[in-house]
A and B are shown apart, each in its own frame.
Chain A
Amino acid sequence: MAAVVLNDELNSTESQEIVQRTPKEIAWGRFKRNKVGIYAGGATIFFLACSIFAPLITRAFGVDNHTVYEGVLNEFAMPIGPLGGISWSHPLGLEPGVGRDVFALLLYGSQLSFLVAFISTFASITIGMLIGIATGYFKGKIDSTIGRFADFLLSFPGTFMIIALSLPLVQRVEAIGLAHENAARILVLVIFLVFFGWTGFYRLIRSQTMSLRERDFVMAAQAMGASSWRIIVKELLPNLWPTAIVFISLSLPGYIAAEATFSFLGVGVQAPASTFGLVLSDAVGYWRDDPAYLLIPCAILIAIVLALNLLGDAIRDALDPKAGR
């Protein structure tokens, strides 16, 4: 309660004598003060860089993700050596049964994870943004129809539908010739994730647009003769970006985890490609013999998702200090 008074006092006492900063500077300043956010950002950049430069890094370590190494597995196809065959030449050990390099598998796997997560996030954002702005701004029949459709979508058991429908849909995509194999599977997975995922952002944007359009500055623009297009682009969008950025930062980790989960359930990417989910679902069968093979990818996946979540929180706190406080 004291804080309310405090805010009132501050707002009204702002004067030109205080050195003021732009919204960006304020957000950046707030972000910089958040040590956790900085570390998480660093970690995220690290993981992203590892993923992007997977070919270079693996080459530097002299490994790759497709070679079946010889002489590294015993007669039961288990890695020779402690901790799942961790050695200088195979820093995270070897894949039991096949003999590929786990380090390379995870690096390349993270590429697919990030790919799916980024495409899903941006597609959801784009669709949610377009529809959210359109319905929030123009209201009317379309708005209520789409709103009801979104409610309707939310009532479906998304996870189950993805599992039930992905195989036939992949076949259909392949039959049409749109994409093949893993590309087709990723496409279908992404379409599903977006299909069930856009509504959240759409609602957010719609409600924000609705409240923004009631703000006087929109009316001021109308009074100046601005077209709807100009109002959307020049007046609304700049105010919606922070929401979008926050949403992106918070949904990326969600999509990474989702991709892993669906791979684990057998939906999405399949061998010989790798993802975290595939490696983990494989590793479960070896946990007694080769716990390192299970725990290392687990730890890395958790670290990535955690870093992205922490970064997302920090970005949200920086851009939108009232939310979540």
Chain B
Amino acid sequence: MTLKPFLEVKNLNVAFPTEDGLVQASNEISFTVARGETLAVVGESGSGKSVTSLAVMGLHDRKRTQISGQAILNLDSGPVDVISADDEVVRKLRGKAMSMIFQDPMSALHPYYSIGNQLIEAWSLYNEGDKAAGKKRAIEMLDLVGIPDAAKRVDEFPHQFSGGMRQRVMIAMALINNPSLLIADEPTTALDVTVQSQILQLIRDMQKEFNMALILITHDLGVVAEVADRVNVMYAGKIVESGGAEDIYYRPDHPYTIGLLHSIPKIGELESKRLVAIPGQPPSLINLPRGCSFRARCAFSDRVSGNLCATTAPTLDTKTNEHFSRCHLPEAELLKARKEIGGN
């Protein structure tokens, strides 16, 4: 991508102080997204993917969160750093410059207000015009996201919609002010697989329609493969690997990514070979061990010379252009590892 990235996240850290200690939820996060580009963030729950995006949206309670680093939005009017900007400035970016949709469409809409009401509210924040104009726009948006009979359903309440329909409503609401960036946080996790494909299709269509930068957060590698241009793989609060979708799927550099790709059975592979499991559990984010946080589960840490994995946290090394990985494993060992696990 040659475009100037719309969002530049630089060295973002988010931590929550708790009774038991400081939870380092995201750690040294840097990435960029341009308009029209889809960045997928993959990782297990607790890997810090939601925390990062919420930080970009400025949705963390600053009193209870320690945030450092930068998240710069390159707006037409000039760059704004969401992290350091005033609450009021950030608020006015939300919904307009950047929007977000959430995992659970069942609870993300206010149960007491009609769909139309909630859409109009979002619209009127950034548009002059009376309610009728807002409603017109709301119906238009509902139509666009594929709600049948939108003019009638606009007055209905969330509980009268199915999960898939609600997610469409959420998308309509997020897009009603033509945002430049859409963050979709596990938008299909709560949905059935047939509905999931509808929604993914819709998100793709919408991205084209609005030429947005899209950050798609998910744990489902299948979903990522279908929509992502680039992929960030997160583990224990850090980006462990980042690259183009094909790089990640065909040339994974990090043992975690490799393991992940092979731990899921693939449709069509009918011969029942044993799955490759990543042993152990993800580490606690409190008092993370020194060194590589994946070390305890990594099958190859013994192939790294010395005690490097235990003592030194790997940095995000550039392997090839725009493909980074946080691993001490030498190139040769890596190729071997790919073969050993995946057989390709």
Touch A–B, Cβ below 8 Å: yes
- Tell me if B23 and A6 are in contact (CB < 8 A): yes
Q: Residues of B contacting A8 with CB < 8 Å?
A: 45-46, 50
A5 at the interface (CB under 8 A from B): yes
Given contacts A2-B16, A2-B64, A2-B65, contact A13 B284 (CB under 8 A): yes
A15 to B289, CA, bound (A): 13
**Min CB gap A224→B, angstroms:** 27
Is A70 at the interface (CB under 8 A from chain B)?
no
Cβ of B283 and Cβ of A17 under 8 Å apart?
Answer: yes
8 Å CB contact of B46 from A2, A12, A18: A12
Quick one: given A2-B16, A14-B284, A18-B286, are A9 and B25 in contact (CB under 8 Å)?
yes
* A175 contacts the other chain (CB 8 A): no
Distance between B96 CB and nearest chain A CB, rounded to angstroms: 20
Query: What is the chain A residue whose CB lies nearest that of B63?
Result: A2
Kindly list chain B residues whose C-beta atoms are within 8 Å of the C-beta of A16.
Answer: 281
Give the segment of B54-62, B305-313, B325-333 that binds chain A: B54-62
Q: Shortest CB–CB separation between residue A9 and chain B, in angstroms?
A: 5
Cβ–Cβ contact A1 & B46, under 8 A: no
CB proximity to B under 8 Å, residues A1-49? 1-3, 5-6, 8-10, 12-18
Question: Please, which residues of chain A bring their CB within 8 A of the CB of B48?
Answer: 9
Minimal Cβ-Cβ distance residue in A for B23:
A9
Say which residue of A12, A17, A18 sits within 8 Å of B45 (CB atoms): A12
In the bound complex, how far is the Cα of B60 from the Cα of A3, in angstroms?
A: 9
- CB neighbours (8 Å) of B16 from chain A are 2, 6, 9
Which chain B residues border A15 with CB–CB below 8 Å? 281-284
B-chain residues with CB within 8 Å of residue A2 when the two chains form the complex: 16, 54, 59-61, 64-65
Residues of B with C-beta under 8 A to A12: 44-46, 282
Task: Point out the residue from A1, A9, A14, A18 that lies within 8 Å of B51, measured CB to CB.
Answer: A9
Cβ-neighbour of A17 out of B18, B46, B50, B284 (below 8 A): B284
CA distance A14 to B65 in the complex (A): 20
CB-CB < 8 A to A10: which residues of B? 18, 23
A3–B59 alpha-carbon span in the complex (Å): 11
Closest B residue to A16 by beta carbon equals B281
Scan A181-193; emit 1 where CB is below 8 A from any B CB, else 0: 0000000000000
DSSP majority for the A interface?
A: helix
Q: Is B285 an interface residue (CB 8 A)?
A: yes
Which residues of B are found within 8 Å of A5, using beta-carbon distances? 25, 50-51, 54, 60
Given A8-B46, A9-B25 in contact, is the A18-B61 Cβ separation under 8 Å?
Answer: no
Q: Which residue of B lies closest to A6 (CB)?
A: B16
- Which of B20, B46, B283 contacts A9 (CB under 8 A)? B46
Contacts A12-B45, A12-B46 given: A6-B18 contact, CB under 8 Å? yes
**A window 232-275: CB within 8 A of B:** none
What's the nearest-Cβ distance from chain B to residue A246, in Å?
A: 21
Contacts of B61 on A, CB cut-off 8 Å? 1-3
What residues on A are CB-neighbors of B64 within 8 Å? 2-3, 6
A18 touches B283 (CB 8 A): no
Find residues 298-322 in chain A having any chain B CB closer than 8 Å to their own CB. none
**Residue in chain B with minimal CB distance to A29:** B19
How far does the alpha carbon of A9 sit from the alpha carbon of B23 in the complex, in Å?
9
Shortest CB-to-CB span from A318 to chain B, Å, is: 13
Q: Which of A8, A9, A15 has the most CB of B within 10 A?
A: A9
Smallest beta-carbon distance B55→chain A, Å:
10
Cβ of B23 and Cβ of A1 under 8 Å apart?
no
Contact assessment for A18 and B20 in the assembled complex, using a CB-CB cutoff below 8 Å = yes
Contact B282 A1 (CB under 8 A): no
What's the least CB distance linking B149 to chain A, in Å?
33
Nearest Cβ distance between residue A31 and chain B, in whole angstroms? 14
Once the chains are docked, how many angstroms separate the CA of A168 from the CA of B10? 81
Chain B positions within 8 Å of A3 at CB level:
61, 64
Which residue of A is nearest B285, CB measured?
A: A13
Min CB distance B230 to A, Å, is 24
Closest to A2 in B: B61
Asked if B46 and A13 sit within 8 Å, CB to CB, the answer is yes
Bound CA–CA A127/B212 (angstroms): 62
Write the B74-95 contact mask toward A (1 if CB under 8 angstroms, else 0). 0000000000000000000000
Contact with B along A104-127 (1 / 0, CB 8 A): 000000000000000000000000
Nearest CB of B to A10, in Å: 7
Tell me, in angstroms, the Cα distance from A3 to B16 when the chains sit together: 9
Complex-state Cα separation, A5 to B52, whole angstroms: 11
CA distance A15 to B48 in the complex (A): 16
Task: Mark each residue of chain B from 1 to 32: 1 if its CB lies under 8 Å from any CB of chain A, else 0.
Answer: 00000000000000010101001010000000
Give chain B interface residues in 266-285, CB to chain A under 8 Å.
281-285
The residues of B with any CB-CB pair to A shorter than 8 Å are 16, 18, 20, 23, 25, 44-46, 48, 50-51, 54, 59-61, 64-65, 281-286
Known contacts A2-B60, A13-B282; 19 additional CB pairs below 8 A are A2-B16, A2-B54, A2-B59, A2-B61, A2-B64, A3-B61, A3-B64, A5-B25, A5-B51, A5-B60, A8-B45, A9-B46, A9-B285, A12-B46, A13-B23, A13-B283, A13-B285, A16-B281, A17-B283
A-B residue pairs, 9 tightest by C-beta:
A12-B46, A2-B61, A12-B45, A13-B46, A15-B281, A2-B60, A13-B284, A6-B16, A13-B285
30 A–B contact pairs at CB < 8 A? A1-B61, A2-B16, A2-B54, A2-B61, A2-B64, A2-B65, A5-B51, A5-B54, A5-B60, A8-B50, A9-B16, A9-B23, A9-B46, A9-B48, A9-B51, A12-B45, A12-B46, A12-B282, A13-B23, A13-B282, A13-B283, A13-B284, A13-B285, A13-B286, A15-B281, A15-B282, A15-B283, A15-B284, A16-B281, A17-B284
